[in-house]
């Protein structure tokens, strides 16, 4: 009986240590993603600027409207209506500039152009 109690206690200790290790890994991953987003100088500069929605509309029409239609779902990209409610501004900046969501191409607007585009998208 005493041996069984020791084995149960050892199993419980391993379970607790495994859980703590998993939580630590998840926490470090979240912290790394946050740090990467906060430390991005391009995003910091974009977010410090005041955007112009009319200029943002022009940027959208030239660079985005071919794949992102606002009225119908017939295009390649998803509808961007209410995108600013679904994604943070930093997430939108990353989405636009990274090109990591095929088939969306990498697009590197100037900081002011990105601020203008964010202003326009926030009004959809």
Peptide bond into 103 cis (omega under 30): yes
pLDDT profile of the chain (124 residues), mean per 10? 79 91 89 71 93 96 85 73 91 88 86 97 94
Together in a domain, 69 and 15: no
3-state helix, strand, coil in the chain (%, to 5): 65, 0, 35
Together in a domain, 15 and 64: no
pTM score of the predicted model: 0.68
Together in a domain, 50 and 96: yes
pLDDT at residue number 32: 75
Together in a domain, 45 and 14: no
C-alpha radius of gyration, the chain, whole number: 23
Count of structural domains, the chain: 2
Neighbours of 111 (CB within 10 A): 17
pLDDT at residue number 80: 87
Domain span at 35? 1-39
């Amino acid at each position: 009986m005493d041996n069984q109690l020791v084995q149960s206690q050892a199993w419980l200790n391993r379970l607790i240590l495994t859980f703590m290790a998993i939580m630590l890994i998840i926490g470090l991953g979240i912290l790394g993603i946050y740090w990467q987003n906060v430390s991005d100088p391009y995003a910091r500069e974009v977010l410090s600027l005041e955007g112009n929605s009319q200029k943002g509309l022009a940027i959208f029409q030239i660079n985005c409207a071919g794949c992102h239609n606002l009225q119908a779902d017939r295009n390649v990209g998803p509808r961007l209506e209410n995108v600013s409610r679904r994604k943070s501004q930093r997430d939108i900046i990353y989405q636009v500039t990274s090109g990591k969501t095929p088939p969306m191409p990498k697009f590197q607007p100037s900081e002011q152009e990105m601020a203008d585009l964010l202003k326009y998208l926030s009004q959809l």
